[in-house]
Amino acid sequence: MLRAREPKGTAALKGVREKGKAREAEIIAAARSLLTDGGPEPFTLRNVADRVGLRMSHLQYYFATKGELVRALLAHVAADYARQSEDVLGQVPDTPTARFMAWIDFLLQDCWDPKTRHFFIQLWGLVESEDAYNGRLLQQFYESDIVEIQRLLRDLSPHLDERMMYHRSVIIAGVIEGMMLMVGSGPSEADARRALFFETRKQVFRIATEA
């Protein structure tokens, strides 16, 4: 059976699109590294363009404004955590407690990482300034995190109604994100950090399961 031929130019168009997606991904990665590295460079389109090695006009072909790039960065980070969730949950026993605590442990350990902490603290300020300080963009960004916690909580604590389950998920997400501001990173603080980690996970489990 003969295979239908693609219209002339289709392969070339696909190649252009793929190249464009790869370039967008490269720009977003540069934007993320600019926030993560914690250097003196402010988050501007020009500094992102310099990191990628693009002319400013070329970068603006993909992201015309800083706001567009910030929104693309948020979507990229959310998708990255969704992928990591699949990986983490795929490696633990298929029980409600194991799955819930595996994801909570991953999130807490991630918060304890100095690079992650610096990235998110920088990101919060950047997003708020782009959002005119009304908080909507951050709420939308964290909604996927809340939904994932709620999905795991639904199996762990079926005694909770949907409204309470959502409220508990919001509280748990807030506790975890808030810990980024409270955790030290110096070697002398290792014992205190370890104790704080285990106390936090214990309290998160209590919030998740109490009637």
Among residues 101, 128, 112, the alpha carbon closest in space to that of 183 is found at: 112
Final residue belonging to a domain, choices 49, 64, 79: 64
Q: Are residues 137 and 194 in the same domain?
A: yes
Q: Are residues 40 and 112 in the same domain?
A: no
Domain extent at residue 56: 1-64
Element (H, E) at 66: helix 66-89
Residue 53 backbone class (left: φ over 0; alpha: ψ -120 to 50; beta: rest): left
| The total number of structural domains that make up the chain | 2
The pTM for the full model equals 0.84
- Taking a C-beta distance cutoff of 8 angstroms, is the pair 46, 91 a contact? no
pLDDT tens for 83-101 read: 999 999 999 999 999 999 9
Q: Are residues 108 and 54 in the same domain?
A: no
Is a pLDDT exceeding 90 seen at residue 193?
no
Is a pLDDT exceeding 80 seen at residue 7?
no
What gap in Å lies between CA 78 and CA 143, rounded to an integer?
Answer: 10
Work out the burial of residue 88: count CB atoms within 10 Å of its CB; fewer than 13 is exposed, 13-18 middle, 19 or more buried. middle
Give the per-residue pLDDT at 131: 83
Is a pLDDT exceeding 80 seen at residue 22?
yes
Is a pLDDT exceeding 70 seen at residue 107?
yes
Percent of the chain at pLDDT above 70?
89
The amino acid at residue 169 is S
